[in-house]
Structures are given as structure tokens and as C-alpha cells.
């Protein structure tokens, strides 16, 4: 028993040390360019300048158009990991007496729209850009959609502009690379300071959701492709 307690203590200490290191590195790198992200002209229209740029990709054994449709229609609520992250994120609002939003299983895009985001641009069967202005450091986070023109020009102090994408790039008749990218920038110095702390401490959960989203869409896109191939044979 004592050995188990010691082992658990060491594991917790190592995890805490690793998290502290992550926070320090993320804080230091805030506002720096991310060279590993591929170019995205559609997103550049709304975010030529940013403080945060986070991108992820996954190779999918399915046509790009099918993978894109699967991504739009797959619900994040299918993942226990995502539900756990959302549950943790809702603790402050629960403590403040605000009930969390009801789970939405209509698909990623519809779920995002129901939270207050808006569609900034879309290339059929290829890419969609979602955007909102918000104050993510608050216990009860509210997302506000703007028209594409107003979003690009928005500079009201006290907010953060955030946009993220779903994008499928074909690399063959039955293979694609699916990508998601998030960009954000604060509108004034005080908001920048608040958002920098928020991103340094809470971005692991956001990135975990992105990883899970790619895993879900890969599974669903390949399932749909196998079904359609079987029906055609």
C-alpha cells in the first residue's frame, strides 16, 4: 500500500511538473508564428494577423468530399473525452448557478451554431470557417456571431476574436488530409493579458477536443466510404 501511495504521489508530481512546463512554454510562445501550419487563403481573409494559431491534421482513407460531410455531421458528444472536457469547463458556471447547455448531437457545425458562432465563409465540399467574438475567461462564456465583414473589422475593446476551420484536402480519389485550424486575437492590451493566461492554462483541453474531433471524423468518414463501396459492388 505504501509503495502504491508513493508511486501515485510521484506520478501526480510528474504530471504537475509537466503541466507547469507546458503552461510556461505556451505563455512564452504566445503571439509567435506557427511555421508548421499550412497556408489557408480562406481563413487569411478574416485573420491575416493573430496571436494564437493552432492546427491539426489527419490522413483519412476516404474522398475529401465525403470526409468533409462526415466532419460537419459528426457530433462531438459521441466522445466521452470531449464530454468530460466540456463537463470540467462548465464547473465555474455551475457554481455560479447557470445550468450548462443541453448536449447537442446534431453535428459539429450545428452544435457550434447553437452556441452562438457564425459561418464566415465556405467552399462547398472542401472547407468551412466558423467565427465569433467572446470573453473566454468568464465563467459563463457567450459567443457572438458577426457578419463576415463586421468580423474582419471588429476591434471593440474587451473581447477576443476566434475563428476555426474544417477542411479536407484531396490527395487521391479515395484519400484526403483533413485539417482543422484555430486562430485568435484579443482586441486590446487588457484582453490580451487575460486571454494569454487563459490559453496558457486551458489550451490542453481545447487541443484534446481537436484531436478527438479528428479521430471521430476519420472513423465516420471511413465507415461511410466502406458502406458506399460495398453498396456499389
| Mean pLDDT, all residues of the chain | 87
Task: Report the pLDDT averaged over residues 111-128.
Answer: 96
Task: Report the pLDDT averaged over residues 127-131.
Answer: 98
pTM of the model: 0.84
pLDDT at residue 92 is higher than 60? no
User: Which pLDDT does position 82 carry in this prediction?
Assistant: 74
Using DSSP, state whether 171 is helix, strand or coil: strand
- Minimum mean pLDDT range among 11-15, 138-142, 219-223: 11-15
Q: What whole-number distance in Å separates Cα of residue 88 and Cα of residue 201?
A: 13
Highest mean pLDDT among 6-10, 71-75, 145-149: 145-149
Tell me which H or E stretch contains 122: strand 118-123
Domains and CATH numbers, the chain: 31-232 (3.30.530)
Amino acid at each position: 500500500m505504501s509503495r502504491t501511495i508513493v508511486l501515485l504521489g510521484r506520478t501526480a508530481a510528474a504530471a504537475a511538473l509537466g503541466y507547469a512546463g507546458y503552461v510556461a512554454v505556451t505563455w512564452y510562445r504566445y503571439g509567435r508564428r506557427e511555421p508548421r501550419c499550412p497556408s489557408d487563403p480562406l481563413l487569411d481573409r478574416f485573420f491575416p494577423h493573430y496571436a494564437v494559431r493552432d492546427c491539426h491534421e489527419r490522413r483519412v482513407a476516404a474522398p475529401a468530399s465525403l470526409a468533409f460531410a462526415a466532419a460537419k455531421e459528426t457530433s462531438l458528444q459521441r466522445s466521452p473525452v470531449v464530454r468530460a472536457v466540456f463537463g470540467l469547463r462548465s464547473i465555474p458556471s455551475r457554481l455560479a448557478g447557470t445550468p450548462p447547455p443541453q448536449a447537442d448531437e446534431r453535428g459539429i457545425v450545428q452544435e457550434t451554431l447553437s452556441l452562438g458562432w457564425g459561418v464566415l465563409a465556405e467552399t462547398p465540399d472542401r472547407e468551412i470557417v466558423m467565427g465569433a467574438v467572446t470573453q473566454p475567461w468568464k465563467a459563463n462564456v457567450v459567443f457572438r456571431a458577426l457578419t463576415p465583414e463586421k468580423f474582419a473589422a471588429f476591434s471593440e475593446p474587451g473581447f477576443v476574436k476566434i475563428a476555426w476551420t474544417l477542411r479536407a484536402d484531396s490527395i487521391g480519389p479515395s484519400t484526403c488530409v483533413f485539417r482543422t485550424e484555430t486562430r485568435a486575437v484579443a482586441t486590446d492590451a487588457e484582453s490580451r493579458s487575460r486571454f494569454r493566461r487563459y490559453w496558457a492554462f486551458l489550451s490542453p483541453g481545447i487541443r484534446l477536443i481537436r484531436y478527438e474531433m479528428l479521430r471521430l471524423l476519420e472513423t465516420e468518414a471511413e465507415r461511410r466510404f466502406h458502406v458506399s463501396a460495398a453498396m456499389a459492388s
